Amino acid sequence: MTPPSAPDGRDAGTPVDLVVVGLGYVGLPLAARACEAGVRTIGLDVSAEVADGLNAGRSHVGDVPDSVVADMVAAGFTATTAPSVLAAADTIVLCVPTGLSASGDPDLTAVRAAARTVAGRLRPGTLVVLESTSYPGTTEEVVRPILEHRSGLRAGDDFHLVYSPERIDPGNARFSMINTPKVVSGCTPLCAKHGVAFYGRFVDSLVVSRGTREAEMAKLLENSYRYVNIALVNEVALFCDRVGIDVWDVLHCASTKPFGFAPFQPGPGVGGHCIPVDPRYLESKARDEGFSFSTLSSARAVNEQMPEHVVDRAAALLAGQGKRLAEARVLLLGVAYKPDVADTRESPAYPVARGLRARGTSVAFHDPNVSRLHVDGTEVPKVDGLNPALRAADLAILMQDHRCYDLVQLAASGCVLLDTRGKAAGAAVTLL
């Protein structure tokens, strides 16, 4: 009997090693690495635009060039919106987003939807992995019941359920999926064993966690550690500004200690999908358990005031020129959340632009990596010519120190520069 055809033209019964559900910043690099290692891979996404682009060899993720996608397609990779491909998968990895709701609470809508989609096509012996970051208990208390109830199968007996947190760092040329240790955990020891066998095919080093809750907590700790330490240096920067101490010299001196100190840098705010979001998952879970994570809430209070501090500093610099924000033209330099990427998720550029506009400022931006910046539904004008834009601006704010910015040239441009990254020097430069 001929197997039924899937809507994307594949036979629903054709075996495949791996189906990656969610082809974004986590899922696409995973699929790329799997293909490179010879793992037969299909990508499943809810966006037809994403699937069509990948099948045509076009990437939408900065760390995965078009050439890599072309190699993936040449190796047999296809992307689809048809869930029928799940039915013949040996391994299914969920890499769907876990953001925040409008009220700031964890939003597991995509995780639940993906689990329901998988459950309807789950077969005995399949390995299911959750890579999406979430609070401790998500794998056992959210994903597992959905999979078991809808499929009639039991995790640990009929199929294998694993949690392995993603450790993607966009723009990091030193550490990739190959050489970054991978934490693997399972609902049972046998589940974990299957997870190790899978990731061992294309990751150099594996770390087996005692259980899924420990692995989920480890991921939240990693980013909460950074969040809290960034808050500490941000608050130090605020204090130093108040009393006239050069915070950048303080940090330079402290960083020379070869033990007991890990350097972090202050800035205009905390950006990216993980660092501003993951601590909220931990706070929420703690609150449900009747525990108060006061360190995290205090850190959030500090980090969230940094964009307004930038706006206040801009106002003070303009006042020194005899100008008010309401009549000024301000140019934001680098609006991505980290250097040399195109990712603007949770970028401090959004609240800074919002704060400037609220005071009547005319705001534009320059960033060779970012094509558009929308704030509250309104587009912030982009300028392409940096030098003319600097000449036309009353104040420039270096939000992100992309490698393309010549700091000497910026300092010598004649435009007053507020450097939130502590990298430039000169008479026209003021550091955060």
All domains of the chain, ordered by start, with CATH?
16-210 (3.40.50.720), 257-431 (3.40.50.720)
pTM beyond 0.85? yes
Assess contact for 35 and 68: CB atoms under 8 A: no
254: its two tokens: 């402290």
Give strand pairing partners of 184.
208
Cβ neighbours of 301 (radius 10 Å):
11
What does the DSSP 8-state code read for residue 61?
S
Q: Using alpha carbons only, what angle is made at residue 26 by residues 23 and 28, rounded to the nearest 5 degrees? A: 40
Alpha-carbon distance of 190 to 424, in angstroms, equals: 54
Alpha carbons 346 and 7: distance in angstroms, whole number: 36
For residue 75, CA distances in Å to 28, 189, 227 come to: 15, 33, 40
How far is C-alpha 62 from the chain's CA centre?
12
Please count the CA atoms within 13 angstroms of the CA of 385 that sit on its side-chain side: 6
Spacing of C-alpha 413 from chain mean position: 33
pLDDT in tens, the chain (432 residues): 333 334 333 345 578 999 999 999 999 999 999 999 999 999 999 999 999 999 999 999 988 999 999 999 999 999 999 999 999 999 999 999 999 998 889 999 999 999 999 999 999 999 999 999 999 999 999 999 999 999 999 999 999 999 999 998 888 889 999 999 999 999 999 999 999 999 999 999 999 999 999 999 999 999 999 999 999 999 999 999 999 999 999 999 999 999 999 999 999 999 998 899 999 999 999 999 999 999 999 999 999 999 999 999 999 999 999 999 999 999 999 999 999 999 999 999 999 999 999 999 999 999 999 999 999 999 999 999 999 999 999 999 999 999 999 999 999 998 999 999 999 999 889 999
Would you put residue 149 in left (φ > 0), alpha (ψ -120 to 50) or beta? Answer: alpha
Which residues are catalytic, by number?
Answer: 274
CA dist 106 and 102 (Å) reads: 10
Q: Tell me which DSSP letter residue 85 carries.
A: G
Rounded to whole angstroms, how far apart are CA atoms 314 and 329? 11
